[in-house]
């Protein structure tokens, strides 16, 4: 049943659904107002970062409050969802933006760019992300997608006197626009074939079209449209071979914001990817029947040539390319850029496993958890680089890092945590994230008897071994090489705080992943708009979770 709302004014309860996106946007307006009253061009504007952080903190709290008040039906005439799935991602993106902003003031001042626009752009981007992860319609989806992307292009070019930054912004913008155009073209085709932009209706219509022999000609258009939309996602999550912008953009952009780009943008792109692919193109017919072969062709399955197969190629290519090229880099920022491509590959492994059949839908919680663990590790790593960066002295090659571990013991320790987490060494969050993702691939492989999943997991493990090499090289530089000259010690309490938070979660989620795992599981179970086959799985998962938590509660009660 498509759950499209009738054309009646939205109920009051629905307005709660736009709060997560509204708060960052309003905060951005507050920042402009505050800035008007700022006196003196030289005085620091750190407080703007704090106000902006409070705004995002408020967004986080809103997500927390709304967690138990989600709706299964789309709001605002079928354009947005308010479900835990979107709240989870909004929360993650807000946290990422918040930490990135806290890392920024000192960096911006030292580059003579202590301006309000920087924080505004991040806030507006987060606002776009909030709507993006909620979108129930390809139109809201596309608008939100651009609302997220355009501020990020501007941030990339923010250090406008720096040629590399300008180049980064330009490249990101051109390629982003190019990819968005392709995506829009894909959306147009889907609209042409189905006559709607609503995800659920597309999902229903697609079945009808695909099973109807009379409309075979539409199949090609739907497939092409889906692939073009998919290419847009692949571009944003930086999966090979759509990754080419990544190293250049990450290298040139202001370092603390790169952390934001690498984590929040990636997470915000994965969320609609899960939603769009599963809702609109996720119907799985019974295997074996003659017409069912047609029906599963959008999703694919191994070598049935659907989106699963495309993503399989992308995942393999991303893991291999990301890790191999990262080895050869001498610039840490570029290395991290390539490693983020590799991470996209690992996430896609979990994505493929959980998307392979409707029955495995709950394995998406591994993807969500991986994104959380990845966020803290990567954000922290870029934060450390930003922490060391001074005007006229960028700290971005391995040589630049030499000996810094001894000079800044706390930061060194934190960097160690981030590198361990990114490399997936226990007891860090990255390890648990990788474990769950790879385990989901192996589990699905065992359940389906399809060896491809196992080989994918093997490839993932092998390539992540290569990853250990370049991550640990950072620590080798920081601790085992002598430094010629001292780096003057200018820190910033907010930046340090943000780094400690990242470090704390990188360890906490590695040692006690239970809570975050449960939240991921709930988010997946609560994802609204999924087709019926998936809804059944969600329902089973909901019951299982209730039973487990219920049993745990009872266990506690019997202790009385």
Partner 1 sequence: MESQFTYLGLIVLFPLLGAIINGVVGSRLNRKLVGWIGSGSILLAFFYSLASTLYLYNHGHDSEYGDLTYTAFQWIYAGDLGLDIAFLMDPLTSVMVLVITGVGFLIHVYSIGYMEDDPGTWRYFAYLNLFCFAMLMLVLGKNMLVTFIGWEGVGLCSYLLIGFWYEDDANAVAGQKAFIVNRVGDFAFLAGLFLLYYQTGTFDYVALEQMASTPAGIATMAPVALPAALLIFVGCTGKSAQIPLYTWLPDAMAGPTPVSALIHAATMVTAGVFLISRTHFLFTIDPAIGLTVATVGTLTAFFAATIAVVQDDIKKVLAYSTISQLGYMFMAVGVGAFTAGIFHLMTHAFFKALLFLGSGSVIHAMGGDQNIQNMGGLRKWMPVTALTFLAACLAISGFPLLSGFFSKDLILWSALSNAHVLSIPGLFDGTIPAAALTVEQAQPLASGGPVDVTATSAAFHWFFYIGGLLTAGLTAFYMFRLYFLTFEGECRADEETKAHLHEAPMSMTVPLSVLGILSVIGGWIGWPHFVPKGWLGSGHKGGHGADHAADAGWTIQDVMLGFEHWLDEVFVVSDTFRIVGRFGAHPYSAEMICTAASVLVGLSGIAAAWWVYLKNPGLPKEIADSVEGLYNLLDNAYWVDELYDSLFVQGAIKVGSFFHAFDKIVIDGVVVDGLGWLAEQAGRILSYLQSGDVQRYATYIVVAIVLIVLTILTI
Q: How many CB atoms lie within 10 A of CB 42?
A: 6
The answer to whether residue 325 forms part of the interface with partner 1 (CB under 8 A) is yes
> Is residue 409 at the binding interface for partner 1, with CB under 8 A as the rule?
no
For position 447 contacting partner 1 by CB under 8 A, the verdict is no
Of residues 318 and 538, the one with the C-beta less far from partner 1 = 318
Report whether 201 contacts 194 (CB < 8 A).
Answer: yes
> Is residue 59 involved in binding partner 1 (CB under 8 A)?
no
Q: Are 314 and 277 in contact (CB under 8 A)?
A: no
Q: What gap in Å lies between CA 456 and CA 465, rounded to an integer?
A: 14
If the CB atoms of residues 45 and 496 are measured against partner 1, the closer one turns out to be 496
**310 interacts with partner 1 by CB under 8 A:** yes
- Segment interacting with partner 1, rule: CB under 8 A, options 102-110, 131-139, 146-154, 326-334: 326-334
Interaction of residue 512 with partner 1, rule CB under 8 A: yes
Near partner 1 by CB under 8 A: residue from 13, 29, 54, 327 = 327
CA distance 74 to 529: 8
Give, as ranges, the residues between 20 and 49 that touch partner 1 (CB under 8 A). Answer: none
Shortest distance in whole angstroms from residue 175 CB to partner 1: 6
| Closer of 413 and 552 to partner 1 (Cβ) | 552
- Interface with partner 1, residue 223, by CB under 8 A: yes
- Considering the complex, state which of residue 480 and residue 512 has its C-beta at the smaller distance from partner 1: 512
Please pick, from the candidates 328, 330, 410, 546, the single residue that binds partner 1 as defined by CB under 8 A.
Answer: 328
Confirm or reject binding of residue 189 to partner 1 (CB under 8 A): no
The Cα 57–Cα 203 span in angstroms is 36
Q: Omega of the bond prior to 241 within 30 degrees of 0, cis?
A: yes
Neighbours of 173 (CB within 10 A): 19
The correct pick among 247, 254, 355, 383 for binding partner 1 (CB under 8 A) is 247
| Distance in Å, CB of 449 to partner 1, minimum | 19
* Contacting residue, 4, 26, 30, 244, with partner 1 by CB under 8 A: 244
Q: Which is nearer to partner 1, 111 or 243 (CB)?
A: 243
- Burial profile 499-509: b = 16 or more Cβ within 10 angstroms, e = fewer: bebbbebbbbb
Residue 168 interacts with partner 1 (CB under 8 A)? no
How far apart (Å, rounded) are the C-alpha atoms in residues 207 and 423?
A: 42
Count of residues engaged in binding partner 1, rule: CB under 8 A: 47
Distances (CA, A) of 498 to 100, 114, 379: 8, 19, 9
* Spatial distance between the Cα atoms of 31 and 38, rounded to a whole number of angstroms: 11
Alpha carbon of 140 to those of 81, 197, 198, 354: distances in Å?
11, 9, 9, 26
Rule CB under 8 A: say whether 9 interacts with partner 1.
Answer: no
Could you say which of 27, 62, 149, 179 contacts partner 1 (CB under 8 A)?
179
Segment near partner 1 (CB under 8 A); pick from 12-20, 21-29, 316-324, 412-420:
316-324
Who's near 163: CB < 8 A, 6+ residues apart?
none
| Residue 555 in contact with partner 1, rule: CB under 8 A | yes
HSE-CB for 276 with a 13 A CA cutoff: 32
Report the residue from 190, 193, 222, 321 that binds partner 1 according to the rule CB under 8 A.
321
Compute the distance between CA of residue 422 and CA of residue 468 in angstroms, rounded to an integer.
8
Nearer to partner 1, 244 or 487 (CB): 244
State which of positions 270-289 bind partner 1 (CB under 8 A): none
Nearer to partner 1, 16 or 425 (CB): 425
- Residue identified by tokens 């190629």 is 313
How far are the Cα atoms of 2, 17, 23, 394, 526 from residue 83, in angstroms, in the given order?
17, 9, 17, 42, 6
| Residue 510 vs residues 240, 425, 516: alpha-carbon distances, Å | 28, 9, 10
The reply to whether 319 sits near partner 1 by the rule CB under 8 A is: no
Among 44, 195, 208, 241, which residue sits at the site for partner 1 (rule: CB under 8 A)?
Answer: 241
Report the interface residues with partner 1, using CB under 8 A: 170-171, 174-175, 178-179, 182, 220, 223-224, 227-228, 231, 235, 241-242, 244-245, 247-248, 305-306, 309-310, 313, 321, 323-329, 439, 466, 469, 512-514, 517-518, 548, 552, 555-556, 559-560
């Amino acid at each position: 049943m498509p759950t499209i709302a009738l054309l009646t004014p939205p109920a009051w309860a629905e307005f709660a659904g736009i709060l997560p996106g509204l708060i960052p946007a309003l905060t951005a307006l507050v920042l402009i107002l505050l800035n008007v009253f700022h006196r003196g061009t030289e005085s620091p504007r750190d407080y703007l970062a704090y106000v902006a952080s409070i705004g995002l903190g408020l967004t986080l709290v809103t997500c927390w409050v709304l967690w138990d008040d989600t709706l299964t039906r789309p709001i605002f005439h079928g354009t947005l969802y308010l479900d835990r799935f979107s709240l989870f991602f909004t929360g993650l993106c807000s946290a990422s933006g918040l930490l990135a902003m806290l890392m920024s003031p000192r960096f911006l001042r030292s580059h003579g760019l202590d301006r309000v626009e920087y924080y505004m752009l991040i806030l507006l981007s987060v606002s776009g992300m909030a709507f993006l992860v909620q979108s129930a319609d390809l139109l809201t989806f596309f608008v939100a997608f651009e609302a997220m992307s355009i501020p990020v292009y501007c941030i990339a070019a923010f250090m406008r006197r720096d040629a590399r930054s300008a180049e980064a912004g330009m490249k990101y913008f051109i390629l982003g626009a190019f990819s968005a155009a392709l995506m829009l073209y894909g959306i147009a085709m889907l609209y042409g074939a189905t006559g709607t932009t609503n995800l659920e209706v597309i999902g229903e219509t697609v079945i009808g079209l695909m099973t109807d022999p009379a409309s075979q000609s539409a199949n090609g258009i739907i497939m092409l449209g889906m692939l073009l939309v998919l290419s847009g996602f692949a571009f944003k999550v930086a999966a090979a071979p759509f990754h080419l912008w990544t190293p250049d953009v990450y290298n040139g952009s202001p370092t603390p914001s790169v952390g934001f780009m690498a984590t929040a943008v990636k997470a915000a792109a994965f969320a609609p990817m899960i939603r769009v692919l599963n809702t609109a193109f996720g119907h799985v017919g019974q295997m074996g029947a003659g017409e069912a072969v047609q029906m599963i062709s959008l999703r694919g399955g191994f070598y049935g040539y659907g989106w699963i197969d495309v993503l399989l190629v992308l995942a393999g290519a991303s893991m291999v390319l990301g890790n191999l090229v990262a080895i050869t880099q001498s610039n840490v920022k570029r290395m991290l850029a390539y490693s983020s491509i590799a991470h996209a590959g690992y996430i896609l492994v979990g994505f493929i496993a959980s998307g392979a059949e409707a029955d495995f839908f709950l394995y998406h919680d591994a993807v969500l958890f991986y994104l959380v663990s990845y966020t803290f590790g990567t954000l922290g790593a870029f934060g450390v680089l930003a922490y060391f960066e001074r005007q006229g002295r960028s700290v971005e090659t391995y040589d630049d890092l030499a000996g810094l571990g001894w000079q800044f013991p706390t930061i060194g320790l934190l960097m160690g945590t981030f590198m361990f987490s990114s490399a997936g060494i226990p007891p860090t969050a990255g390890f648990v994230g990788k474990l769950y993702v790879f385990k989901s691939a192996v589990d699905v492989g065992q359940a389906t008897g399809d060896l491809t999943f196992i080989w994918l997991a093997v490839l993932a493990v092998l390539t992540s071994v290569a990853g250990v090499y370049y991550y640990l090289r950072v620590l080798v530089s920081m601790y085992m090489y002598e430094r010629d000259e001292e780096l003057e010690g200018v820190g910033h309490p907010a930046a340090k705080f943000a780094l400690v938070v990242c470090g704390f979660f990188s360890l906490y989620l590695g040692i006690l992943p239970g809570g975050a795992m449960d939240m991921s599981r709930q988010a997946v179970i609560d994802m609204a708009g999924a087709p019926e086959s998936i809804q059944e799985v969600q329902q089973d998962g909901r019951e299982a979770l209730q039973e487990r938590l219920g049993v745990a509660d009872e266990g506690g009660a019997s202790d009385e």
